C-alpha cells in the first residue's frame, strides 16, 4: 500500500509541476497584455487547484477503502484465530480427560480390582 501512496504522491507532484511549467511557457509565448496574462494565470491556478483537490479527494477515498478492507481482514483473522484456539483448547481438555480415565483404569487394573466395582476416584 505504501508503494501505491508513493506512486500517487509522485503523480500528483508531477501533475502540478507540469501544469505550472505549461502555464508559464504559455504565458511567455503568448502575445497578450499583462492584464490578460494575469487573468489566464489566475484561471489556470484555479483549474490546477480544482484538479489537485479532486485528485486528493480520490486518493483519500481510496485510502479509506483500503483501511476499511484491512480492518475487516484483521477482524476475520482474529475471529479465525479465536475459533482455532477454542477448538484446540477443547481437544486438549478432552485429551486430558481421556488420559485421566485411562490412568484411573490402569491404576485399578494394577491394584487387581474390578473396574466395575471399585470407585476410581477413591483409589
Kindly report, residue by residue over 84-116, the tens digit of the pLDDT. 999 999 999 999 999 999 999 988 888 876 545
- Which domain covers residue 37, as residue numbers? 2-122
End-to-end CA distance of the chain: 64
What mean pLDDT do residues 22-26 have? Answer: 76
Give dist(CA 65, CA 21) in Å, integer.
33
pLDDT, greater one: 122 or 69:
69
pLDDT, greater one: 67 or 25:
67
pLDDT grade for 31, boundaries at 50, 70 and 90: low
User: Which residue, among 22, 3, 11, has the nearest Cα to 58 in the 3D structure?
Assistant: 11
For residue 42, pLDDT beyond 90: no
Residues 49 and 41: beta-carbon distance below 8 Å:
no
- How many domains does one find in the chain? 1
For residue 58, pLDDT beyond 80: yes
Amino acid at each position: 500500500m505504501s508503494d501505491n501512496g508513493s506512486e500517487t504522491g509522485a503523480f500528483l507532484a508531477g501533475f502540478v509541476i507540469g501544469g505550472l511549467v505549461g502555464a508559464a511557457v504559455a504565458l511567455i509565448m503568448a502575445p497578450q497584455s499583462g492584464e490578460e496574462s494575469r487573468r489566464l494565470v489566475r484561471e489556470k491556478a484555479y483549474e490546477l487547484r480544482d484538479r489537485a483537490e479532486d485528485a486528493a479527494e480520490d486518493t483519500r477515498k481510496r485510502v479509506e477503502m483500503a483501511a476499511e478492507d484491512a480492518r475487516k481482514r484483521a477482524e476475520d483473522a482474529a475471529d479465525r484465530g479465536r475459533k482455532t484456539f477454542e477448538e484446540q483448547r477443547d481437544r486438549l481438555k478432552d485429551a486430558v480427560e481421556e488420559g485421566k480415565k485411562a490412568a484411573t483404569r490402569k491404576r485399578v487394573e494394577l491394584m487387581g480390582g474390578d473396574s466395575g466395582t471399585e470407585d476410581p476416584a477413591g483409589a
